[in-house]
Structure 1
């Protein structure tokens, strides 16, 4: 387990998928300011955020937790909470897409 947040590992995974930190923040349901705090190791991730990062990056929650710092929780496998979390993330993505569409108009 990483003692501190491994920003290089996360940036590399994002680059491999052609994604930005803004997309990661939207999927996790957090603001870009909060994500910046995570990158500076000044804010811990919740289990739900770990799960969101893992799905977007195509890795396991355990792998995200391994690189996210010493006290990062690994998400559980409760299917009902997973469905609720997925619905929340879809809403966040739709909101982000609408915002991007407005800025391009």
Structure 2
């Protein structure tokens, strides 16, 4: 996974398809300003945006996520058991916080 958004890679994929960045923004439902933040590594892509970028660029969603330097789950590949376990941990932590507040 890249540590930072790989703007050169995205620009090269767009150039291969003869597309400007504005098309990428429009396809993902983003404003040009939002896309500029993504390219400056100041805004992370959502899983849905990763999927749109992948389709438009003709690559796998995992490649887009890796090149964007994010940990966004690849659409359609979320492990339901891991998701449930993570949610259960969050609920347990929240319940502990509520109990602690009630005791205060």
Q: TM-score, normalised by structure 2?
A: 0.71
Query: What CA distance in whole angstroms lies between the structure 2 residues aligned with 1:70 and 1:64?
Result: 9
Q: TM-score, normalised by structure 1?
A: 0.70
Shift of 1:77: 5.8
Matched, 1:11 2:14: no
Give ranges in structure 1 of 5+ residues lacking alignment. 79-105
Matched, 1:55 2:55: yes
Max radius of gyration: which structure? 2
Shift of 1:71: 2.7
Q: Check whether the contact 1:13–1:57 (CA below 8 A) recurs between aligned residues.
A: yes
Query: What CA distance in whole angstroms lies between the structure 2 residues aligned with 1:41 and 1:64?
Result: 14
Query: What CA distance in whole angstroms lies between the structure 2 residues aligned with 1:65 and 1:18?
Result: 22
Give ranges in structure 2 of 5+ residues lacking alignment. 79-104
Query: What CA distance in whole angstroms lies between the structure 2 residues aligned with 1:73 and 1:14?
Result: 23
Query: What CA distance in whole angstroms lies between the structure 2 residues aligned with 1:2 and 1:72?
Result: 13
Shift of 1:75: 1.7
Q: What RMSD over aligned residues (CA atoms) do the two structures have, in Å? A: 1.5
Task: Quote the residue 1:66 is aligned against.
Answer: 66
Task: Quote the residue 1:29 is aligned against.
Answer: 29
